[in-house]
Amino acid sequence: MAHPLRAAAGITGIGETPVGELPGSSALSLMEDAALAALDDAGLAVADLDGLVTSRSMVAPLHRAAVILAERLGMTPELFATLEAGGATSLQMLNYALTAIGAGRARHLLCVAGDNLLTGLSRDLAVQAMAENADAEFEVPFGTFPPAAYALAARAHMHAYGTTAEQLAEVAVAARAWAALNPAAQMRQPLDLAQVLAAKRVAEPLGLNDCALVSDGGGAFVVSEPSAAAALARPPIWILGAAEAAGHEYITRAPDLTSFASALAGRRAFAMAGCRPDEVDLAQIYDCFSITPIITLEDLGFCGKGEGGAFIEGGRTGPGGDFPMNSHGGLLSHAHPGKPGGIFHLTEAVRQLRGDAGRRQVAGAELAVVTGVGGMFSAHATAILGAAR
Amino acid sequence: MTAGGEVFWDGCAVGEFRLLRCDGCGQVDHMGPSRCRRCHGAELTWIAAEGGGTVASFTIVRRAPSAGLREWVPYGLALIDLDEGTRVMARLAGEPEDWRIGGRVRLCFIAAGEAPGDFAGDRLPAFAPETGEAACGS
């Protein structure tokens, strides 16, 4: 029997702000801009919404961000939630909206994330953000920060399975090749394997190009109940599967450094959608560091454990390759505004499934997988989106 | 600081790497939980680690995460599986060419300067390869 929430809602609108360095922007201004763009794309007005879901800002102390945004937009929402799962928040917002709509609590919900991490993050806030990702008493004093935690996983993967620095570099090179085709991307100048390998190391084995950008930017999407979606101008992109899984919070506690709760989130999402990884046309895989997609693709079952490096080799995830991945350029080359980072993986998947991706269009894209990771491989979410129900 | 953090860093000041052992089930744990993570018992006793362990993974940090650490890069950061059966984060000491996953290491303490959290002082736990002579250096 099909899962009761399979295709119980669809994405009817997407919106994005510019990304990169946006002087004068704030988390709230970026969320407002993205929200209105998504509503415009859906052909809806604020008055049509039953509620909204937001993520937190790392820059602005927006407690109850959803309430603040509702006030700004002039709405009195029945449902309002501010979620926190780091880079998995965008897909957690999607899952929240799907669940609420599937339960009959709403017809249209708006999901919004935005932050000005590049222009707004002072040194104090940056240190605080670092501390948010590690235990303040048992990890931070040793000088850990996100690149170091992901480097621990990368080295463990290299040691256990023979994954190479060249394979890690391929992830960054493919992301840049896609970004070169995306006028909206923050980093578009050419990048080759030799440059990635020669770049300064941040935390060995990870170098500068193995690490996500720091950006300002925001995104939003509208999730709609099927009959409400049918009244709109464009067909929705269906949410066929959406699932989450939380493992450890701190990298010291990770039971395994080469496989994470992404395996559970992935298995749950594919089971709900009733499809297999080999049926997917486009993979939008969270790429905070180059090691992340390699491990995630294994955990999701695209290849066996330890085969992720070989799986992405030979440019096959880049433009023209037979396994298109992160066609907007990813966190590595499009943008990474922090907690909202993963929202662009989702909006790009919708764009591709609508056939609207222009020069980046993946021919015949009908089924996409999107993943998000929060913390140090800690919180995971996976969504399966389809052009058809 | 939490009560657990205070006991741990007080231990470092006197040359001990302190762990918690559950009085109920015997599980040894790190990071100062208030209850045993296996049986949820609330009776926990502090013990000092014997000091031996194995490297689960490590990295060499070359770009300082904060201004206070800028003069200390590069440094080795590792996850160590202690012989007591729990995993801990610590610095690596000794020669980087001796650092390897699966390698045996032994506890020592290094001067770390102004570490983030600023309570580590000059007694920061580190682990040095057992092969290294005078591994913790000066």
Question: Could B31 and A135 be called an inter-chain contact, meaning their C-beta atoms sit closer than 8 Å?
Answer: yes
Check if B99 contacts A (Cβ < 8 Å). Answer: no
Report the share of chain A in percent with pLDDT over 90.
93
Comparing CB atoms, the residue among A137, A159, A204 nearest residue B101 is: A159
Check if A210 contacts B (Cβ < 8 Å). Answer: no
Report the share of chain A in percent with pLDDT over 70.
99
Question: Could A152 and B87 be called an inter-chain contact, meaning their C-beta atoms sit closer than 8 Å?
Answer: no
Q: Would you say B93 and B128 are in contact if contact means Cβ atoms under 8 Å apart?
A: yes
pLDDT confidence of residue A253? 97
Chain A residues touching residue B57 (CB < 8 angstroms): 152-153, 155-156, 159, 257
Least confident of A178-192, A219-233, B57-71, B90-104: B57-71
Closest residue, chain B, to A206 (C-alpha) = B59
State pLDDT tens for residues A51-106.
Answer: 999 999 999 988 899 999 999 999 999 999 999 999 999 999 999 999 999 999 99
User: What's the CATH architecture for A10-121+215-237?
Assistant: 3-Layer(aba) Sandwich (3.40)
E strand or H helix at A151, and its extent? helix A146-161
Domain for residue B26, yes or no?
yes
Domain for residue B134, yes or no?
no
Check if B109 contacts A (Cβ < 8 Å). Answer: no
Residue with tokens 């119980």: A8
Check if A204 contacts B (Cβ < 8 Å). Answer: yes
CATH assignment at residue B109 = 2.40.50.840
- Rg from Cα positions in chain A: 19
Closest residue, chain A, to B6 (C-alpha) = A137
Domain for residue B136, yes or no?
no
Question: Could A137 and B115 be called an inter-chain contact, meaning their C-beta atoms sit closer than 8 Å?
Answer: no
- Where exactly are the structural domains of chain A? 10-121+215-237, 144-214+241-386
Closest residue, chain B, to A127 (C-alpha) = B66
Band (B131; pLDDT cuts 50, 70, 90): confident
Distances (CA, A) of B133 to B76, B128, B138: 17, 9, 12
Whether pLDDT at B63 is above 60: yes
Say what the ipTM of the complex is. Answer: 0.94
Domains in chain B, number: 1
Comparing CB atoms, the residue among B30, B56, B67 nearest residue A138 is: B30
State pLDDT tens for residues A11-29.
Answer: 999 999 999 999 999 999 9
Superfamily of domain A144-214+241-386: Thiolase/Chalcone synthase (3.40.47.10)
Comparing CB atoms, the residue among A204, A251, A257 nearest residue B60 is: A204
Domain of residue B47 covers 3-129
Average confidence (pLDDT) over A165-187: 98
Domain for residue B137, yes or no?
no
Question: Could B66 and A130 be called an inter-chain contact, meaning their C-beta atoms sit closer than 8 Å?
Answer: yes
* Short-list A260, A326, A244, A246, CA closest to A290: A326
